[in-house]
Each structure stands twice: as structure tokens, then as C-alpha cells.
Chains A and B, each alone.
Chain A
Amino acid sequence: MKNKTKVQRSTKKEFSERIREHQGIIHKVTMVYTDGPADREDLFQEICLQLWKSYPRFRGEAKFSTWMYRVALNTAISNVRKNRNKPVHEFLNENVQLIDEIQLDGDQVRLLYRAIAALNRIDKAIILLWLDEKSYDEIASVMGTSISNVSVKLVRIKRRLEALIRDAEKHEL
């Protein structure tokens, strides 16, 4: 019993270290699926917990990062809470200092963010994986759909992003 607890503690430590190294993936997911620092932290914790719960079934058939994306996106997509409609730009306004630091791209990045935030949960996942340099094959495997569907969807998502950005620009002018 004592040995089992010791093994579990060391596995927990090892796992936490592994998550720490790849935490960027979780941050990216929480960034597009939440609308404020508090929600972001809640979702971050929930994803860590779900990763830990799912870890015993991870057999190394996929890359660790791809598996992490799977768990993180499934957690974020299933994470439904009523009355959480705070627009993403409010959250971005909380990071004004950071926007100023990259002034040149600040507006563009902010618009890109707002556009991604307006997408549905599935499209967010697909564009997120694509922006993170995942191949069509990997995206299809994470989402459980065909490569041709991913390809068609990506064309549509990019068009929708363009329309959303154009719309946002008009409103800002």
C-alpha cells in the first residue's frame, strides 16, 4: 500500500513535469475557449485534471503533444456553462500593456483573436490545430473526421475569419 502511494506520487510528479514542459498547448486552448483570466485558469485546471485522468490510457501511439491536444480540445468543447457571453475583446483589453509591446501587430492580432473567438467550438479547434502547424492528417485524427473534410472546413473557416475581420474593421473605423 505504502509502495503504491509512493509510485503514484512519483508518477504524479513525473506527469506534472511533462505537462509543465508542454503547457503552451493548454494555454493556447484556454485562450480561444474562454473569455477572461478567471475562466482561463478554471479551464486550465480542468484540462490538467482530465489529462491526468486520461493518462493511464495513453499508450504512446500518437505523439504526446497530439494526445494532449485531443484531451484539451475535448475538455474545452464539452465545457458548457450557461451565461458566459463576455466578449473576448474585454479579455484582450486586460492585456493592453502586452498589446503595446507589439504595437505594430497589436491591432491585427487583436482582430484575429476576436475573429477566432466568434467561430463555433469545432471551427476554433480546427483553426487552432492548423495555426499550430499540425498536418491535415493529424487534425483529422484529433477531430475524428476525414482529411478532405478538414481541407474543406479550413477553406471555409479562413473565409469566415476574413469576413469577421473585415466586419470588425468596419466597426472600428
Chain B
Amino acid sequence: MLNLNEMNDEKLKAMWSKAEKLAGTSDYKSPAIEQFISGRSNDAASKIRNMIILDIALKTLVLAVLIVDFVLFWGTFHVMVVTVAGAVMLIPLLFYQKKLLNRFTLTAYNGQSTRDKLASMLTYLKTRFFTTLLLVAITYLFGFIAGSLAYFYAAYGYVRQLDGVDVMVFLGFIVIGILFNFLVNRAQVNYQIKHLELCLSDLNENNLALVSENIELQRKQDRSNKILLALVVIVGFVLLVAVFMNV
């Protein structure tokens, strides 16, 4: 019978060292380990990081297409204005997203203490993750504008005027896309948030209260950023209507 009261710490540790043998662990050689480190990560932080990197790449692509649209529609004033306005809004957003990526890389760093790692991930997911999703939504919107312009040029040589119903249908699809992306991500993140909160309070009961204070503070600081980004989304919709209804 095993009784921890009757055992001293040394016995427990000695038993643990025997327990290691039980696992029947493989002895990996260097080439196998080299292969492991060349693989792809499956953890939540890596997925978020990849989402940000993909968004930066897509924003760059959209910017390039907007520049091409500007050249293609040279002389069509309202289209040129829309492409310039789109590019002017996208460039600072690209830098902002890059800044978010750098910050997230620090958040996701596994070499910090467990408490710091849990707290920084929780803070990010409860505050900046929403900003990241807004930035991704903006890419969808401007991507749609830039892509449609290029398509219309290739198909008709001009921007075909759309009636109110067409615009409503397009806007409807974009809004559904943005909402779907938001809801899917939100559901995954909510599960992650619950796990992080549980681990933080398991580590120390006071941790969660302290982190919550910090989250509230950061939320207040980020409020203006979110309002600005929401404004960009609205302006994007206005541009979309303007360009396709020949306003």
C-alpha cells in the first residue's frame, strides 16, 4: 500500500524516477528531432499568428490590386478616388497589423513564466483579438472592391453600374462573410478563454482579479482604436456603394 504520510519526500522522488521507466518513452535521435522542428504547429497561438500573417499578405495583395485598378481606370474619376481612398486607408492598417503581429509574438512566447504566458494570452484574447478580427473584416471588404473592379475591367472594360438590389445582395454576402468569420473565431476563442481563466485561478486565486483589472484598462485604451477601425469598415461600405452605383 502506498501512503504518502508514511513516505518521506525522498521516497516519493525515487518512485517517480522509477515511474519514468514505465512510460516506455522513445529515445529520439537528432534527425527525428530536426524533422519535428521543421513541422507545423497546431497550437492556438500559432493559428492566430498565421491568421495575422495571412492578413498582412492579403492586405498587401489588395493594395497592389488597388494600384493596378487606379492605372486601369485612369480617367474615370470616381473609381480613381475610390482606389486612392482604399489605398490611403489600407497602408496605415498594414503597419498597424504588423505592430499587432510583433506584440502577439511576444504574447505567444513560451519562454516566459507560466503566469505571464497565461495572463498575456488571456489579455490578448479578451481585448486585441477583436481588433484583429476587425482588421481581417476590412481586408475582406477592400478585397471585394479591388477584385470586383479588376473583374469588371477584364469583363466589360468599365465599371458596370449596379442597381440597388445588386448592391444589397453584395453587401449582404460581405456582411454574412464577416459575421460568420467573427462568430466561428469567437466560439473557438471563448473555449480558450475559459481554459486560460481556469488555469490562472488554479495557479493563484488572486491572479484572475489582477488580470481582469489589466484587461479593463487595456479595453479602455483600445476603445479609440476599435472606433477608428469600425469607421474604416463603414467608409469601406460607403466606397463600395459609391463605386458600384456610380455616385
A131 contacts partner chain B, Cβ-Cβ < 8 Å: yes
B110 and A54 contacting across the interface, CB-CB below 8 Å: yes
A13 to B211, CA, bound (A): 40
A134 to B167, CA, bound (A): 65
A-B contact list, 6 entries, CB within 8 Å: A48-B37, A52-B37, A98-B21, A109-B22, A149-B204, A166-B3
Interface magnitude class on chain A: 35 or more
Within 8 A of A (CB), among B129-148: none
Main secondary structure of the interface of B (DSSP, over half): helix
- Choose among B39, B43, B111, B117 the residue with the greatest number of A CB atoms under 10 Å from its CB: B111
B12 contacts partner chain A, Cβ-Cβ < 8 Å: yes
Contact with B36, one of A44, A78, A112, A144 (Cβ below 8 angstroms): A44
A90 contacts partner chain B, Cβ-Cβ < 8 Å: no
- Choose among A13, A78, A113 the residue with the greatest number of B CB atoms under 10 Å from its CB: A78
Q: What sequence of 0s and 1s flags, for each residue 34-70 of chain B, a beta carbon within 8 Å of any chain A beta carbon? A: 1011111111110000000000000000000000000
Binding stretch for chain A, among B25-33, B74-82, B176-184: B25-33
Given A17-B30, A78-B117, A169-B2, 13 other A-B residues pairs in contact with their CB atoms under 8 A: A12-B38, A23-B33, A27-B20, A41-B26, A50-B41, A70-B110, A75-B110, A101-B21, A109-B22, A122-B199, A131-B16, A132-B16, A143-B115
Q: Which residues of A contact B (CB under 8 A)?
A: 12-13, 15-17, 19-20, 23-24, 27-28, 30-31, 40-42, 44-46, 48-54, 57-58, 67, 70-71, 73-75, 77-80, 82, 92, 94-95, 98-99, 101-102, 105-113, 120-123, 125, 131-133, 141-145, 149, 158-159, 161-162, 165-166, 169
